[in-house]
Amino acid sequence: MSDYLGYKGKRVVVTGVFSGMGEATARILTELGAEVHGFDYKDSNLSLASFTKVDLRDPASIEAGVAGLGNGRIDGLFNCAGLPQSFPALDVMKVNFLGTRHLTETILPLMGEGSAIASIASTGGLGWSRRIPTNMEFITTKGFQAGLDWCEANPETIDSGYAFSKENVIVWTQFLGAHLIKKGIRINCTLPSPTQTPMMAEFHAASGKDVVDAAAEPMGRYSTPEEQAGGLVLLNSALASIINGVVLPVDGGFMGGVATGQVDLSKMMKRAAPTA
């Protein structure tokens, strides 16, 4: 069979490989013949080319992890690690955006024309369109510490934690896409529907099961980690060579249902609810 997705022999990095979408993504990439290097705060049981314990809250840990990869080219980066809103807002911001951005910026010198980046955002971050100036001010801070300083100076803005962190993944993806494509590097992100991962219990506790269930319409069920991994693998594949700066719903039709009035948002409107 032809290698249509183009992963055979490619060198990729996946964060969040301990469980959930990151674990599923790393497993699929391995099956496709990629050389997969995994990062996570918790140990992985997958058979990977390498695994490094990395704490995305700590820029030194990120830099050490990337240094351990050596100087070989990285063809794909999959930013799958994340924290739910049950963690302190500052930790959520560090992992979901600041650490993800710092890791990406640290790996970029190892990437070249034809390489690609895919990150997991969330429909919980759809508020980005209502406060682009704030998002742009934050995402254009220079470096991990400057971003952290901004967060500490704007506690009321980051108080939502999860939602704001995912807003910035979305805006950053669109902003950076216009710059990286000039170097032949693509970046995209996904908007997952509610997915049955180990974090789901925390989403239920924080937002209410009825609210999360409402975001699973019109499909009427939660997606699997493998289904979400499929979207990420596709975005970084050779088949998606011109797809760049895209915020891709991987949601069983939720966004389309909202746009055409097929999904009842009344339950979700009662409180801001992340869904991935």
Edge-first strand listing for the sheet containing 50-53: 50-53, 35-40, 11-15, 76-79, 116-120, 186-192, 247-250
Whether 41 is catalytic is: no
Neighbours of 142 (CB within 10 A): 8
Q: Which of 252, 132, 134 is nearest to 196 (CA)?
A: 252
- Among residues 4, 7, 41, 162, which one is catalytic? 162
To the nearest 10 degrees (0 to 180), the angle between helices 162-180 and 132-139 is 70
Residue 132 phi, psi (nearest 5): -55, -40
Give strand pairing partners of 195. Answer: 223
Where in the sequence numbering do the catalytic residues fall?
162
